[in-house]
Amino acid sequence: MIELRTPAEIEQMRPAGAFVASVLEATRDAAAVGVNLLELDALAHDMIRAAGAESCYIDYHPSFGASPFGKVICTSVNDAVLHGLPHDYTLKDGDLLSLDFAASVDGWVSDSAVSLIVGTPREEDERLIQVTAEALDAGIAQAVVGKRIGDISAAIGDVAADAGLEVNLDFGGHGVGRVMHGDPHVPNDGRRKRGLPLRPGLVFAIEPWFLHTTDEIFTDPDGWTLRSADGSRGAHWEHTVAITEDGPIILTARSS
């Protein structure tokens, strides 16, 4: 069911967005050569406890997950692009890391993701991260009253196409509110002027994710982590966005 939030409710969602942004900033800044993924998860867990927030991940068990997730942040490295289950892995120079985090504050949820390079960057990884971020910006620019979901999807897909990237449509953006995943679905490619009309009060996550040379993925034996079929690297960016009469509000905007 698609729900519309009042202006007052959107204001009530701001603390959740700010908290999610702060955790991503902290874990992003902590990610370095020699840091273990479990350390990043522990940092996020500590911040959740200190803020009195609730994890959206730790008990999460959708149909595509083998078991409850059991951790509080997704850490996807190199050929992993989504739902990376934190495990005993120490980051190496040149790793491409995507962090995806969602939490509930006072009953309201926000969801966001960022990609970065640990240590020495590779040019092709920098370009992939940049293109994915540009796709997010292009999608958000279409998140205005009078447009449709298809306009957001097409804007994301056009950025990918211009960069020579294929788009997987198995996972994309989604409604956010009292729960992490709700309606509407926001695909990362589509047709303009099609789909749900955008109205004030809609709140959803926009989340482009691309792989270097494929759009095919498979599930790791851990039952969660999604990896590219050909071993190529992936990047993932996401923001929770509210539609208002005055334009989109990025609830998970980071300070840096």
207 is in an annotated binding site: yes
126 is in an annotated binding site: no
Q: What is the DSSP string of 65-103?
A: SSS---SSSEEEETTEEESPPP-S-B--TT-EEEEEEEE
Which residues, in sequence order, are bridge partners of residue 173? 186
88 is in an annotated binding site: no
Task: Read off the amino acid at residue 105.
Answer: V
Tell me the C-alpha distance between 45 and 70, whole Å.
11
Other C-beta atoms lying within 10 Å of the C-beta of residue 3? 13
236 is in an annotated binding site: no
Burial, 214: exposed, middle or buried (Cβ in 10 Å; 0-12, 13-18, 19+)?
middle
Tell me the C-alpha distance between 16 and 235, whole Å.
24
61 is in an annotated binding site: no
* Residues of each annotated binding site for substrate: 83, 181
Binding-site annotation, residues: 83, 100, 111, 174, 181, 207, 238
Binding-site positions for a divalent metal cation read 100, 111, 174, 207, 238
